[in-house]
Amino acid sequence: MKKIMTILWLTIVCATTLNAQSKFGESPKLVVGIVVDQMRWDYLSRYYDEFTEDGFRRMIDNGYSCNNCLINYVPTVTSIGHTSVYTGASPAFHGICGNNFYIDGRKTYCTADNSVQPVGSDNKKKGCMSPRNLLSTTIGDQLRLHTDFKSKVIGVSYKDRAAILPAGHAATAAYWLDTDNLCFISSTYYMTELPDWAKKVNQQLARNKELKKVGSKVGLYPLCGTITTDMAIAALKGEQLGKNKTTDMLCVSYSQTDVIGHEYGTRGTHTDEAYMQLDKDIARLLKALDSQVGEGNYVVFLTADHGASHNYKFMQDHKIPAGKWPDPDMKDGAEDYVKQKLGNSKNVIAAELDYRYYLDRNSISEQNLDYEKVKQTIIEYLRKAPNVCFVLDYEHASETSVPSIIRDRALMGYHYRRSGDILVVPSPNHYTFGSWSSPVGTTHGEWNPYDAHIPLLFYGWRIPQGATSREVHIVDIAPTICQLLHIQQPNACVGEAIVEITK
């Protein structure tokens, strides 16, 4: 009996070893990354019973869910989230420090590039875009390098930054929506002319009567997600993704959920409708993948770039502490306080972006002011402000007496040439509501769980069925996918492969 058990054990070991050996060097035909802009983690459970079996539930029930995936930096905004997913790095390393940020004193939009021209329309405001402000590589870049640029990598989204930054520097193409002309465009960074399949999509958009009714406010409606799905499927078929000898990659971002959230909040008919339609669109995308690539031949991951807070008035109505954080008044108040204390005549703050204060070093120098004294005077003022938990001097954050979770996330989000000088951490559920959010809408940007806790689903090729509540991070997604593909991680990656997926 003992001999039989020994033989059985050796057989199992050998089989396992052979299975492991067979996995090495193998890879799926296609990787599809899906990022849902502003999707809170708890939306998976909130809408679970309403989701169809072919959309979100197909991935939840038959794939693997990381139920405690957190963003490990601040601020939590769109461009940073998309970049961190695909680079496995934070702003400290990849350099995308916001949708807008300053580079050496010059205000910069994250994907702006005046050295390129639009392709697909003549709209320079929408089309002069590229990934040149991105300092690190992405999954797609590493895949292209690994295969001697034989793999195809394509990004598709409503937002330019959500198509460009995920796809990376060496991408085959990126396509985003010109909302002024209601067509998908690209830039000369990638091509000189749209491919025929993309032109056909634009011709269909031009004939879409519903789209014409919506007009430039297309982002406010679930229809935008459907258009994005149409474009993604057209790219899948037009470029024959998943039918090449090497693994291809398709990066899809759904942005309508963010625009709807800013306008209508985390509760209500519009948000509900957006996720019901998104569920149908994801089901349609998965069906197209089955048909084009074959079920079991592709791997999909789905996550978010950030979450969202409940509207502060909604919270107040239910006796939960919340409020609108008065940052415009804070900036003006800080300027007056500095003038009162130091006697300067000109302003010394260049901007406040995402709770970060950028000091105007030229102005400070011209007025013969001491930079450190100016900075400490502003910090002194901000620390006295209502609904402020912490104020960090970025350059000395590691020495500051604040909880490690705040300090670590601040440092992970800090790039010394791009992130400003001072970070303010408001009280929970206290927010800056700018022009992008309505009085009943929501916003995001902070370290708290409502902004930092995001969904993370894996589905398809070699993905086990199950779930974990172990803490993982947004920067762990890229090394996990790279491990599955047996390729090197992006060159600034600080995340770790999720072993439940890769073992």
What single string gives the DSSP state of each residue in 203-270? HHHHT-HHHHHHGGGGGGSTHHHHHHHHHHHHHHHHTTTT-SSS-EEEEEEE-HHHHHHHHH-SSSHH
Rounded to 10 deg, the angle between the 78-87 and 477-485 helix axes is: 30
Q: What percentage of residues in the chain have a pLDDT greater than 90?
A: 85
CB 299 within 8 A of CB 463: yes
C-alpha–C-alpha distance, residues 105 and 358, integer Å: 8
Query: What's the whole-model pTM score?
Result: 0.94
Question: What is the structure's pLDDT at 322?
Answer: 95
| Nearest of 177, 239, 238, 235 to residue 208 by alpha carbon | 177
Residue 46: Cβ-neighbour burial (10 angstroms; 0-12, 13-18, 19+): middle
Which parts of the chain register pLDDT below 50?
A: 1-22, 215
CA triplet 88, 93, 96: central angle to 5 degrees?
90
Catalytic-labelled residue, pool 78, 137, 226, 303? 78
How many residues are listed for the chain in this entry? 503
Provide the edge-to-edge strand list for the sheet that holds 388-393.
349-353, 356-359, 422-426, 388-393
In this structure, the number of other CB atoms found within 10 A of the CB of residue 352 comes to 18
Question: What is the structure's pLDDT at 213?
Answer: 60
Q: Which pair of tokens denotes residue 76?
A: 């939590």
CB 460 within 8 A of CB 63: yes
Please name the helix (run of DSSP H) or strand (run of DSSP E) that holds residue 281, with its range, or none: helix 269-292
Coil/strand/helix, residue 385 = coil
Q: Which residue has the tokens 């957190």?
A: 70
C-alpha–C-alpha distance, residues 75 and 82, integer Å: 13
In this structure, the number of other CB atoms found within 10 A of the CB of residue 321 comes to 12
Whether 78 is catalytic: yes
Pseudo-torsion of CA 467, 469, 471, 476, nearest 10°? 10
CB 126 within 8 A of CB 200: no
Question: Is the backbone peptide bond immediately before 131 cis, with ω within 30 degrees of 0?
Answer: no
Q: Which residue has the tokens 């590589």?
A: 137
Question: What is the structure's pLDDT at 225?
Answer: 92
C-alpha–C-alpha distance, residues 418 and 91, integer Å: 9
Question: What is the structure's pLDDT at 328?
Answer: 66
Please name the helix (run of DSSP H) or strand (run of DSSP E) that holds residue 143, with its range, or none: helix 139-146
Question: What is the structure's pLDDT at 17?
Answer: 34
Q: Which residues contact 46 (CB under 8 A, 6 or more apart)?
A: none
What amino acid occupies position 316?
A: Q
**Exposure string over 124-161, b if 16+ CB within 10 A, otherwise e:** eebbbbbbebbbbbbbbbbbbebbeeebbbbbbbbbbb
In angstroms, what is the C-alpha Rg of the chain? 24
Q: Which residues contact 138 (CB under 8 A, 6 or more apart)?
A: 83, 86, 87, 165, 166, 167, 168, 169, 478, 490
Locate the DSSP E strands across 95-170: 100-103, 106-109, 118-119, 153-157
Whether the CA torsion 113, 118, 175, 255 is positive or negative: it is positive
